[in-house]
């Protein structure tokens, strides 16, 4: 199975900061990479699909990039409601599916 | 907009089985797959398995092979996850999610059900 590795595992940031989260696949997955946001006690929410396509209704401060094995999620100006855990997920194998271990974004 | 509504929390004994349901309200059912993802307390997301109701095709994560069954009732627009021979480390929240199967297939999970807590304890 494909292994997904996110970094960092956690980060501290302030409102207005630019936040960057990276995700690396153990093999080429083209652009079959999706990003989710999860808040405590809630289901994950799709943010970005196909590496760079913004899901309908998601604020434009979220963006994704990358292809092959290296991917990035950027939040250009962190808002209070963005403090959450973020997961990448590969859908190249379709299925099985693998998730990254998550990146927790905490308030500084 | 489609919603996925899951059944309520379960408490089970080790060695028993659990069956969780996921009902799709509104929207198409047959042109999507229903997949299941679990999250142990304080841990990340783990794909369990899924089904394409239109074809009855199932896929399971290797670690659950032989213990997991996914089914679907198209007339009821409901998917099911059954996990047998439960162990304490199966304690987790189990989520269902919809995945499109029409070309081009991207494989994103959207939407998700609200989650069902399964506790395995003697």
* B88 burial type by CB count under 10 A (0-12 exposed, 13-18 middle, 19+ buried): exposed
Q: Which residues in chain B are contacts of A50 at CB distance < 8 A?
A: 106, 108
> Most A CBs within 10 Å: which of B110, B113, B117, as the mutation test of the A interface?
B110
- A12-26, A50-64, B22-36, B64-78: range with lowest mean pLDDT: B22-36
pLDDT of residue B69: 98
Q: Is B105 helix (H, G, I), strand (E, B) or coil?
A: coil
The neighbour count for residue B117, using CB atoms within 10 Å, is 16
pLDDT of residue B112: 97
CA-based nearest distance A40→chain B, Å: 10
pLDDT of residue B31: 83
Q: In chain A, whose CA is at the least distance from the CA of B52?
A: A95
Mean pLDDT of the A25-45 span: 97
pLDDT of residue B40: 98
Contact A46 B62 (CB under 8 A): no
pLDDT of residue A108: 93
Q: Quickly state the pLDDT bin for B90 (edges 50, 70, 90).
A: very high
Q: Work out the mean pLDDT of chain B and round it to a whole number.
A: 94
Does residue B100 have a pLDDT over 90?
A: no
| Cα B56 to Cα B58: distance, rounded to the nearest angstrom | 6
Kindly state the tokens that stand for A32.
Answer: 């079959």
pLDDT of residue B26: 77
pLDDT of residue B63: 96
Mean pLDDT of the B76-86 span: 96
* Cα B119 to Cα B14, B39, B67, B86, distances in angstroms: 10, 12, 17, 10
Query: Nearest-CA neighbor of B54 among B36, B70, B32, B76?
Result: B32
pLDDT of residue B1: 83
Does residue B97 have a pLDDT over 80?
A: yes
Which letter does DSSP use for residue B64 in this model? G
Q: Quickly state the pLDDT bin for B29 (edges 50, 70, 90).
A: confident
| Cα A79 to Cα A63: distance, rounded to the nearest angstrom | 14
pLDDT of residue B103: 77
Mean pLDDT of the A17-25 span: 98
pLDDT of residue B36: 98
Does residue B101 have a pLDDT over 90?
A: no
Contact B110 A46 (CB under 8 A): yes
Three-state secondary structure string covering A11-34? EEECCCCCEEEEEEECCCCCCCEE
The percentage of chain B sitting over the pLDDT mark of 70, rounded to a whole number, equals 99
Is there a contact between A24 and A4 (Cβ–Cβ < 8 Å)? yes
């Amino acid at each position: 199975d494909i292994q997904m590795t996110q970094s960092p595992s956690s980060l501290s940031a302030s409102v207005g900061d630019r936040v960057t989260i990276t995700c690396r696949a153990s093999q080429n997955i083209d652009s079959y990479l999706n990003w989710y946001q999860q808040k405590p006690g809630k289901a994950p929410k799709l943010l970005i699909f196909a590496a760079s396509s913004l899901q309908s209704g998601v604020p434009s401060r979220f963006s994704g990039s990358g292809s092959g094995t290296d991917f990035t999620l950027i939040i250009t100006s962190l808002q209070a409601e963005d403090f959450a855990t973020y997961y990448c997920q590969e859908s190249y194998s379709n299925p099985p599916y693998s998730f990254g271990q998550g990146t927790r974004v905490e308030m500084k | 907009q489609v919603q996925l509504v899951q059944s309520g929390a379960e408490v089970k004994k080790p060695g028993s089985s659990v069956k969780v349901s996921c009902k799709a309200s509104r929207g198409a059912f047959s042109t999507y797959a229903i997949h299941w993802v679990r999250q142990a307390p304080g841990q990340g997301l783990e794909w369990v398995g899924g089904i394409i109701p239109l074809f009855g095709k199932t896929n399971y994560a290797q670690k659950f092979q032989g213990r997991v069954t996914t089914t679907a009732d198209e007339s009821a627009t409901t998917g099911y996850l059954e996990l047998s021979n439960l162990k304490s480390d199966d304690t987790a929240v189990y989520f269902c999610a919809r995945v499109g199967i029409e070309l081009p297939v991207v494989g994103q999970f959207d939407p998700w059900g609200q989650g069902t807590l399964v506790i395995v304890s003697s």
